[in-house]
Amino acid sequence: MRRSFYLGLVAVALVAAGSVLLALIVRSSELDHFHTQQRDAAQRSAEQAETMAELSVGELATAAAFFQAEDDLTRDEFEAIGESLLRRGALTATAYLEEVDDPERDDYEQRNGFPITQLGLGGPRPADRRPVYYPVTFAVAEEQRKTPAGYDVASDPRRGRYLALARDRGRPAATEVMPLLVGGAGINVYRPIYRDGAPLSTVAERRAALIGFAAGAFRVNDLAAAAISNLPDDAEVQLRSGEEVVVGPEGSLDDAARAPITIADRTWVLVVRDPSRPPIGLPLLIAVFGLSLAALLGALVLIWSRNERMRELQREASQDPLTGLKNRRRFEEDLRREVARSRRDGSTGALMTLDLDNFKQVNDTLGHPVGDRVIEEIAGVLGGRTRESDVLARIGGDEFAIVLPNCDSEEAHRVGETIAGAVRDHVPQPAQVPRITVSVGIAMFGAGIATEIDSLIAEADAAMYAAKANGRDGVRLAGWLGGPREED
Ligand code: GH3
Ligand code: MG
- Asked if residue 414 has pLDDT above 90, the reply is yes
Give residue 360 CA to ligand 1 midpoint distance, Å. 5
How many angstroms from the chain centroid is the CA of residue 233? Answer: 30
Cβ count within 10 A of residue 74: 10
Cα 468 to Cα 334: distance, rounded to the nearest angstrom: 26
Flag the least confident range among 26-40, 206-220, 332-346, 368-382. 206-220
Cβ contact 31:278 at 8 Å: yes
Q: Is the peptide bond before 484 cis (omega within 30 degrees of 0)?
A: no
Helix (H) or strand (E) holding 192: strand 185-194
CA nearest to 167, candidates 187, 133, 131, 193: 193
Alpha carbon of 293 to ligand 1 centroid (Å): 56
Determine which helix (DSSP H) or strand (DSSP E) holds 339, and give its type and residue range. Answer: helix 328-345
Residue 475 contacts residue 416 (beta carbons within 8 Å): yes
Cα(406)–Cα(408) distance, rounded to whole angstroms? 7
CA of 42 to the centre of ligand 2 (A): 97
pLDDT of residue 124: 41
324-485 maps to CATH 3.40.50.10800 = no
Q: Look up residue 180 and give its DSSP letter.
A: -
Q: Which runs of consecutive H residues, i.e. helices, occur in 349-408? A: 359-366, 368-384
> Within 10 A of 114 (CB to CB), how many other CB atoms are there?
15
Assess contact for 487 and 445: CB atoms under 8 A: no
**Burial (CB count within 10 angstroms: exposed 0-12, middle 13-18, buried 19+), residue 136:** buried
For 35-83, the pLDDT digits (tens) are: 898 888 888 888 888 887 777 776 677 666 666 655 556 667 667 766 7
Q: Say if CB 161 and CB 153 are below 8 A apart.
A: no
**Is any atom of ligand 1 closer than 6 Å to the C-beta of 167?**
no
* Pairing between β-strand 438-446 and β-strand 475-477 as defined by DSSP bridges: parallel
Q: How confident is the model at residue 338 (pLDDT cuts 50, 70, 90)?
A: very high
Q: State the pLDDT confidence band at 326, using cuts at 50, 70 and 90.
A: very high
Q: Are 280 and 28 in contact (CB under 8 A)?
A: no
Q: What is the pLDDT of residues 253-300, one digit of tens each?
A: 888 888 898 888 888 888 888 878 778 888 889 889 989 999 999 999
136-140/399-404 β-pairing: unpaired
**Protein residue closest via CA to atom 24 of ligand 1:** 397
Query: CB of 360 closer than 6 A to ligand 1?
Result: yes
Q: Which residue from 356, 361, 398, 473 has its CB within 8 A of the most atoms of ligand 1, so it is best to mutate?
A: 398
Nearest residue to 402 (alpha-carbon basis) of 438, 372, 377: 438
Q: Provide the residue ranges of all domains of the chain, joining segments of one domain with +.
A: 2-225, 324-485
Query: CA 166 from chain center: how many Å?
Result: 54
**Residue 365: CB within 6 Å of ligand 1?**
no
